[in-house]
Every structure is written in structure tokens, then in C-alpha cells.
Structure 1
Amino acid sequence: MPLSSPVPRALRHTRAIEVEAFARDDGLWDLDARITDVKVRDVTLASGVRTGGTYLHNLHLRITINRELTIVDAEAASDAVPYPGYCDTIAPAYKKLIGLSLMKGFRLGVKERLSGVLGCTHLSELAQILPTAAIQAYANDVIQTRDGAGHDPLPDKPFQIDKCHALRAEGPAVAVYYPRWVAKAVPG
């Protein structure tokens, strides 16, 4: 169902976030993430005028992960920034992501290692979406998600059960698609 029709309005700013996942020949995976900000009209910053339609931010973050979702390499690049010569010097700090698990304490680890003046607000924000992007990338490639009718049963409960509202163990979607794993109501 789409959003409701908006009142008359004028576009002023576009932020875009994109994540691409690549299976590498060496068995590792790369997640290439990008965040951009564009104003539709000229804007005056302390560092000068940015022409409408050009990037205020064009930032990239690549993490390399193993099959256990642990970061084994990381790099960042800043192709457009509001304060050239300053914002674009923080990229090496993103090596601090190495060793973090996307599944255990990742967001807190990013905050501890790269919040505030330790990192770039936008690159650190971009990092926050990488765990769910990795799960989507790994689904049915690294992590098997099928366990419904017509599929061979998985030995363990599918990872996605109890990770969102629709797939709560006691809910109707699990009863339909993963009947073996539906939580039975306990008589009260």
C-alpha cells in the first residue's frame, strides 16, 4: 500500500543510501555502501557555495565480511564533502570496524569506536544499516531461510523467526510458512 497523497510541496533535498553485496572469489563478501546528499538549489556553506544538483555528500564505505559476519577489512572514501580538506581526512578511522561482528554488538561497537569527533557522522550512520543488508545478502546464499511446505526441513529454527513483527514465533505468518516452528500458546 503506497503512502497517502501529499499536500502540494517542493523538493528541496535528496538523501540516497545504497548498499550492494558482492560474493568474492576468495569466499569473503564485500558490502559497498554509499550515502549521498543533494540540494535542488544553490546553498551557501561556510566553505563556499554548492551548486544545486551537485553532491554535498558522496561518501562510500566498504566492509569485507566472512561467512560468520565478522568484518575482516574496511575502507571509506569521501568524494564530496562540505569541508574539503577536513571531512575527507577521516577515512582511515574506519579500519576500526575490523573485528566487529555484524550480529553481536555491532551498532554499539560503531558508536564506541567512531562516534562524535572519532568519525564522520554520515559514514557512521551508513555503517548502522550494514547488519540488515548483510542478512539480506546472505539469505538463501549463505544462510538458508526456507523451511516451509515443499522444502526440506532445516535442522535448526530459521534465523529470521522472531526478528520482526511479521515473523514472530506465535504469529500467523510463521504458522503458515514455518508451521514446524510456530510457538504454541501456553494456556493461562
Structure 2
Amino acid sequence: MFFSPPNSRRALKHSRVIEIDAYAREDSLWDIEARIRDTKTSDTQLASGLRPAGMPIHDLGLRICINTQFDIVDAEAVSSAHPYPGYCNAITPDYTKLVGLNLLKQFRHEVKVRLGGTRGCTHLTELAQVLPTAALQAFAGEVLKTHEVGGGEVKNAINATVQDNQQQPFQLDRCHALKLDSGAVATYYPRWVKQASA
């Protein structure tokens, strides 16, 4: 079991599943597909009618196409299940507003500006927020080099033209485990370790 055993008996009532898949395309671009599904374990009365147990209340998707510099070159949103048919799904074409954004440059802020609140769908906009880290994970080891090679020299390439630059691996100093003064950095990336400040 992933979590410790619960302290009380309980019954599952609601399930939200978020899936993200990344695909390398033949044209050197990448598709990142994110999907969110909400289901209930019992029949649910919505304003638009009864939704039987197990049938999705939400089944929404967001696909972006990016280059290896994390620029969004295409975007598509879909909504196959939603509480207000004809209304919820009317906003999906607006997610083309993601085109032109870069996942690593103020992306989350720009998503809120363009598609936050009543300018978008709460669930699709929330789903968009996970795209930067999903793309980084997809690129790790494929587009971005994540380890030290060749006698301690780092090759951290975003594309083939910068493969020989000696740059700090992209994941360092982005979370608590990989702070530059951490034991993990000292162990796995000794070239980049910094002494903890007093």
C-alpha cells in the first residue's frame, strides 16, 4: 500500500484520475497529452440530469505540441464529459491561446491571464498547470542530459547545438532534494555541490 493504513473504515465516493503522456514525433516535435477524469461511485444528480455511477462527470483533455526549446506550437482541448453539455465544452477552442507560450518562461502566470477564471474551464486550466514539469520529465534523458559524463564534465543539452556546453544539469536547485548544498548533489553531482551557508 502506498499510504499507511487508514485510521478508520471508509468508503470510496469520488475518484479523480490525471494522466499525462508524452510522445516524440517524427518531425522532431513533441506532443504532451494530459487528461482528467472525475467519477462517482454512486448515481449523481446534476443540474443537467442523472449521471450513473462510474460514468465520468468530467472527461477532459489538453494536448500541446512543443519544440525542444519548450515553445508551444499547437494546442487542442477536448471535453467529452462535463456537467453542462453545450456550455462547458464551448470554451475548448480558446485553449489555442496557449500557442506561442514557452513552458519554462512565466507559463503558469500566462495561463492564468489568458484562461483563468471565467476566461476558461477550471479543470482544463488546472490541467495546464502540470504541463511544464511533465515536459521536463519527458525530456529528461531524451532531450536534456541529466547526469555527468566524460570525466565529470556535464553535457546538459536542450538541443544538439548546445550539447558540448558545460552547464549545470537542469534539475539541480529546483527542489529540496537537489539543492546545491544537499547530500544528493554531493553524491550524484559533486562538481556542482556548494557548501551550506551557516
TM-score range, shorter chain: over 0.9
Which aligned runs of 4 or more in structure 1 are off by greater than 3 angstroms? 148-153
Q: How does 1:7-156 map to 2 (within 5 A)?
A: 7-147=8-148, 153-154=154-155, 155-156=166-167
Alignment: residue pair count: 187
Counterparts of 1:38 and 1:62, CA distance in 2 = 22
**Per the alignment, in what secondary structure is the counterpart of residue 78 of structure 1?**
strand
Contact persistence 2:72–2:99 (CA under 8 A): yes
What is the root-mean-square deviation in Å for CA atoms of aligned residues?
Answer: 1.6
**Secondary structure of the equivalent of 2:171?**
coil
Q: 134, 140, 164: which is aligned to 2:175?
A: 164
SS in 1 for 2:148: coil
Q: Secondary structure at the match of 1:73?
A: strand
Per-residue CA distance 1:103-148 (angstroms, 9 max, x = gap): 0100001000001111100000000000000000000100100117
Q: Distance in 2 between matches of 1:104 and 1:166?
A: 23
Following the alignment from structure 1 to structure 2, what is the Cα–Cα distance between the partners of residues 169 and 96? 36
Q: Tell me how far apart the structure 2 counterparts of residues 172 and 149 of structure 1 sit (CA, whole Å).
A: 22
Percent same amino acid at aligned positions? Answer: 56
TM-score normalised by structure 1 residue count: 0.95
Deviation by residue 1:38-88 (Cα, 9 ceiling, x = unmatched) = 000001111111001100000010000011001110000100010011111
* TM-score, length-scaled by structure 2: 0.90
Report the Cα offset of residue 4 of structure 1.
1.6
Look up the match of 1:177. Answer: 188
